[in-house]
Structure formats: C-alpha cells, structure tokens
Amino acid sequence: MTFLRELMLSIPPDAPAAFPYSVPFVRQVKRVEFPAMTFLAGENGSGKSTLLEALACAAELPAVGAESVMTDPTLADVRGFAQKCVKLVWNKRTRKGFFLRTEDFFGFAKRVAQDRADAQEALEEIERDYRDRSGHAKGLARMPHARSLLDIHERYGEGLDANSHGEGFFKLFQSRFSGPGLYLMDEPEAALSPTRQLTLLSMLHRMIGQGAQFVIATHSPILMAYPNATIYAFSEGGLRQTPYDTLEHVVITREFLANPNTYLRHLLE
C-alpha cells in the first residue's frame, strides 16, 4: 500500500535565498506524488537528497544513524524548512520504516557497538553488585540488559562493522526491513556490487508485497529498473517524471557499455 500520498510545498514570498530554499525544485515544484516505489535521480547537488531529508523530517521517521532526524545537527536547515514549508498528505499515517543516508551508516554501526558494550558492562556490574544476593534478584536485574544483547545479536550478529562495508550494508537491510512502513533511502547502492544490487532489488520487491513503500535517491540503473516505478529526474529546471529508457543515467550507461572506446577516446586523449 502507499502510506504517503504526496508532499506539498508552500514557500513564503520572503523566504531566504540560502539553502535549502536555493535548491531549484523548492521554488518550482508545488506537489510531488509518491506511489509504492519512487526513485529520485539526478546529479549530485540537484536536490534529490534535500527532498528525501525534508520527507524524513516531516514524517519524523526513525533514522539509521548516530542521531534522530529531530536532533541531527546536519539536518537543522532542512528540518526548519520542513516545519515551515512542507505538508505531507497521507493515505494512512505511519512512523514505521526508517530513513537512511549512506554517510550515516558508520555512525549507526558505532551506536550499535556502543549499545552492545553498555549492555555488557551493565551485566558485569550486576554480577559484582549482586554477588551476595539471591539468584532471583540478580536474574531480574539482568533481564533487560540480557534482552538488549540478545536483540542486538539477533539483528546484527557480531556487529555491522564485523564485515566489509558492503556486507555490513546488506546485513542492515536484512535486519531493518520489517514489513509495512515508509522507507526513505539515499544511495543505498553505494557499497553494493551489481550482484548485491540485484539481490536488494529482490528484497525491495518482497517488501512491497508486504505493504512497504519506498522513496529512494539513487544513481543505479539496476535499482531504477524496478517495474512500474515512478522516477523523478532532478535538474536546474526542478524535477519531472521521466521514463526509465530516457533517463540520463540509463542512456549514458547503456551507450558506454555498448561502445566504451568511443567515450574513452575522448576522455583520455
């Protein structure tokens, strides 16, 4: 199902010229609709990440990062913009799902490791403090911390940082995709091989079948090939819905793979 129907923008006449009001789509777009699978494509700096961040702040989704969307200092400007100018129209309001930026992965992995260490330290303190008390009292004191350790292990195994960057990303997706909800992801393919991108595509399809909704900013022609997805291409002219076959990412990739020497001759001469 689609939880989020559309985003509506209302920019006051006296809005400042600074970021994020300086991003082209902010001044030129009044509303953006979101089906079950929406991709945001465009060059770096074109505004796709800004739109994704504004959605996350307005929806108050859990963040896969070291900070929540409501306290993250790197989101301060977009958070203020979302509060003043963004209205979300829902088919059904949800706070299930998550918001993921690729650059936040290491902060999240560090937070998981710290939570594990804190729970382990608490158990060790209980062993010392309850040495002369009944086993029942010690068991009750241990219970919440032991449960936290078990939950972390069941979700993340030995830890997100115990594998390669790509495998850590993949483990995160496996553990955090959990049924119906709104999932906002910024360049989830960054650490994934083409084969892993195909596997992620299969996971996304399975999640949509379970009632999930996705908005994904990406450069990946593999992910954007998802059947019947809506693709918004960002440019200096704002954003427009664009068919997969005419998308610049797809056209350039296809032409390069068909005849790389044509490109290399010009680039390397």
- The predicted pLDDT at position 211 comes to 94
DSSP secondary structure of the chain: --SEEEEEE---TT--SSTTTTSHHHHH-SEEE--SEEEEE-STTSSHHHHHHHHHHHHTPPEESSS-TTT-GGGHHHHHHHHHHEEEEESS----EEEEEGGGHHHHHHHHHHHHHHHHHHHHHHHHHTTTS-HHHHHHHHHHHHHHHHHHHHHHTT-GGGS-HHHHHHHHHHHH--SSEEEEEE-TTTT--HHHHHHHHHHHHHHHHTTEEEEEE---HHHHTSTT-EEEEEETTEEEE--GGG-HHHHHHHHHHH-HHHHHHHH--
In this prediction, residues 237-254 reach a mean pLDDT of 92
- The predicted pLDDT at position 165 comes to 54
Residue 46 has pLDDT above 90, yes or no: no
- The predicted pLDDT at position 238 comes to 83
CA distances (Å), origin 261, targets 248, 253, 255, 256:
19, 13, 10, 8
In this prediction, residues 60-74 reach a mean pLDDT of 81
Pairwise CA distance, residues 111 & 106, whole Å: 9
- The predicted pLDDT at position 108 comes to 58
The pLDDT-based confidence of 83 (bands split at 50, 70, 90) is very high
Mutual orientation of helices 105-129 and 165-176 as an angle, nearest 10°?
70
Residue 133 has pLDDT above 70, yes or no: no
Instruction: Determine whether 29 is exposed, middle or buried from the number of CB atoms within 10 Å of its CB (0-12, 13-18, 19+).
Output: buried
Ramachandran sector of residue 125 (left: φ over 0; alpha: ψ -120 to 50; beta: rest): alpha
Dihedral over Cα of 204, 56, 52, 38: its sign: positive
- The predicted pLDDT at position 136 comes to 66
Can you tell me which residue has the tokens 């997100």?
Answer: 160
- The predicted pLDDT at position 8 comes to 95
- The predicted pLDDT at position 176 comes to 73
Pairwise CA distance, residues 66 & 71, whole Å: 10
pLDDT, tens only, 161-218: 545 555 666 777 777 788 899 999 998 888 788 988 998 999 899 999 999 999 999 9
Contact by Cβ (8 Å): 64, 172: yes
pTM of the model: 0.78
The pLDDT-based confidence of 267 (bands split at 50, 70, 90) is confident
The pLDDT-based confidence of 264 (bands split at 50, 70, 90) is confident
Contact by Cβ (8 Å): 238, 24: yes
Residue 222 has pLDDT above 90, yes or no: yes
Pairwise CA distance, residues 59 & 96, whole Å: 10
Residue 58 has pLDDT above 90, yes or no: yes
Q: In 177-199, which positions are buried (b, 16+ CB within 10 angstroms) versus exposed (e)?
A: beebbbbbbbbbbbbbeeebbee
In this prediction, residues 233-249 reach a mean pLDDT of 91
Whole-number average pLDDT of the chain:
82
